[in-house]
Amino acid sequence: MYVKEPNQPAQACVIWMHGLGSDAQNMMGVADVMPSTVPLRHVFVDAPVRPVTLNNHMPMRAWYNIVGLKLMDREDREGILQSEKMILDVITGQLAEGFTSKQIYLAGFSQGGAMALFIGLRSIAPLGGVIALSSYLPLISECEQALIPSTPIFMAMGEQDPIVLPSWTRQSYDWLLSQQFKHISWKQYPMEHIICIEEIRDLSHWLGEQVSLVTCGGEKS
C-alpha cells in the first residue's frame, strides 16, 4: 500500500484499485496528473498475485480470477470476497486515522473499478462516493441487500473499449438507475481501454464538488 498526502490537511481519502495485471503505480500516475481542486489523501493498493485462467494461468496481480471472455466469466465469487475483505481492512485503517466514512471514496479502473462498485454498494456505512472507470458491477445479486441509493457514483467508459465492453458498463449503469440511484455522473469518451486526460479532468471536478458538499454539510440525500 502506498500513500500520497496533500500539502494541506486532507479533506477526503481516495482508495485506488488498479486493473488486471497492473499495479498500484498505474493508479499513482492518474492521481499525479489530476488537477488539485481539494486536498486529498490518495491510497494505492496492490491486488494479490494469483493465477488468471484467461491468461494461461499466468500469475499476476488480480483482484479475482477471470476464466473467459464473457461477462459471467468474471464472477469469481471467492476471489471477489477475499479482495473485498482486503479493501475493507484498508478502509478501517483510514477510519482509525480520523476520516469519516463519508470522506472515503473507492476508485478503480477496469477490474479495480468493478471492486470499487461491488464494495461501495455493499458498504453498511455511507461512503463519500464510488469511482468506476471502464468497469462493471459483478455479483449484482449480492449487492441488493445493502444498497445506499444516495451514494454518489462517477462512471466512465471508452466507446471503443474491446476489453470491458461498453454494453457491460451500460448494463451496470442501467441496473443502478433501476435501483433508484439518483446521483450518478455518467461519462463516455471516444477511446479504448485507457484513461484519457479529459476523463481525469472530469473526475477531478466531480471529486471536488462531492468533497466540498460534505465539508460544507450539504451532502445529497
In tens, the pLDDT along 30-77 reads 999 998 889 999 999 999 999 999 889 999 999 999 987 777 667 789
Check if 185 is active-site: no
Q: Looking at the predicted structure, is the pLDDT value of residue 220 above 50? A: no
Question: Which position among 22, 161, 172, 204 bears the catalytic label?
Answer: 161
Give the separation between CA 89 and CA 219, rounded to whole angstroms.
25
Where would I find the beta strands (DSSP E) of 39-192? 40-45, 49-52, 58-61, 104-109, 129-133, 153-158, 184-189
Top CATH class, 2-215:
alpha beta
Instruction: Identify whether 161 is a catalytic site residue.
Output: yes
* Residue 55 DSSP one-character state: G
205 is catalytic: no
User: One of 110, 123, 135, 204 is an active-site residue; which one?
Assistant: 110
pLDDT for res 217: 57
Which pLDDT value is given to residue 148?
Answer: 81
Q: Rounded to two decimals, what is the model's pTM? A: 0.93
Q: Are β-strands 12-17 and 40-45 bridged in parallel, bridged antiparallel, or unpaired?
A: parallel
- Selected catalytic residue, list 46, 101, 185, 193: 193
Q: In what order do the strands lie in the sheet with 40-45?
A: 2-4, 40-45, 12-17, 104-109, 129-133, 153-158, 184-189
Convert the pLDDT of each residue in 91-128 to its tens digit: 999 999 999 999 999 999 999 999 999 999 999 889 99
**Mean pLDDT across the chain, nearest whole number?**
91
Share of the chain above pLDDT 70, in %: 95
What dihedral angle (degrees, nearest 10) is formed by the CA atoms of 196, 127, 24, 7?
Answer: 80
d(CA 103, CA 210): 9
pLDDT in tens, 167-198: 999 999 999 999 888 899 999 999 999 999 99
